[in-house]
Amino acid sequence: SQQGEEDPQALSIQEGENATMNCSYKTSINNLQWYRQNSGRGLVHLILIRSNEREKHSGRLRVTLDTSKKSSSLLITASRAADTASYFCATGTSGTYKYIFGTGTRLKVLA
Amino acid sequence: DADVTQTPRNRITKTGKRIMLECSQTKGHDRMYWYRQDPGLGLRLIYYSFDVKDINKGEISDGYSVSRQAQAKFSLSLESAIPNQTALYFCATSDSRGYTYEQYFGPGTRLTVT
């Protein structure tokens, strides 16, 4: 069973717009990570947020975490065509180093 | 990521055949993972290994086996391949030192079972 589910499943925006995708999960976590996957290729780590953090920034990325709602959001500001990819959240639980991935959001940025 | 390599990159095999997928890493990481990816289902964990003598089943280990030949090598075997094992398979590594939790993925192996 999937721990995380992303919403929306697919998103299409114009270059320069912001993209927001959400991740919901089911159990208590130690950390939540976001990964990007270009078509058919390996995943690349984007950002990690720990359970005691509420917001984190990295370049054009902003991640928020609401542990009371068991949800996280990833905001990509000023999107570019190169941001076109699938984005996955992955949750890690305390005491383990295994992660459960969500189903992903497919983002398409139109030039 | 060239630090994590997978062979083969593509493989077509027949039902009932035994097949091995190999993963090597030069990152010096102690933890290694095997995932499969199916359309619409994200990544699912097959097996993971925290060191050479520590191997654990993931959520979908049935029909698969693994071998951690060295810290740098982690192989996934399908003893008798079946069509529903057609998928994209990824190897990943992480480092228990520093508590960064980040995983580094290989380029994937696209497996088709006919």
Q: Do A31 and B31 touch (CB under 8 A)?
A: no
| Residues A99 and B103: beta-carbon distance below 8 Å | yes
The 10s digit of each residue's pLDDT in B30-78 is: 999 999 999 877 899 999 999 999 999 999 999 999 999 999 999 999 9
Which A residues in the span 7-66 are in contact with B, Cβ-Cβ below 8 Å?
31, 33, 35, 40-45, 48
| Residues A24 and A9: beta-carbon distance below 8 Å | no
| Residues B32 and B49: beta-carbon distance below 8 Å | yes
B48 touches A: beta carbon within 8 Å? yes
Which B residues in the span 22-41 are in contact with A, Cβ-Cβ below 8 Å?
31, 33, 35, 40-41
The 10s digit of each residue's pLDDT in A38-63 is: 987 899 999 999 999 999 999 999 99
Considering only CA atoms, which of A30, A104, A17 is closest in space to residue A65?
A: A30
- Structure tokens belonging to residue B14: 């027949």
Phi, psi for residue A85 in degrees, rounded to 5: 180, 180
Beta-carbon contacts of B38 under 8 Å, excluding residues fewer than 6 positions away, are B44, B87, B88
Task: Kindly state the percentage of chain A with pLDDT values over 70.
Answer: 96
Q: How far is CA B78 from the centre of its chain?
A: 11
Rounded average pLDDT over B81-92: 96
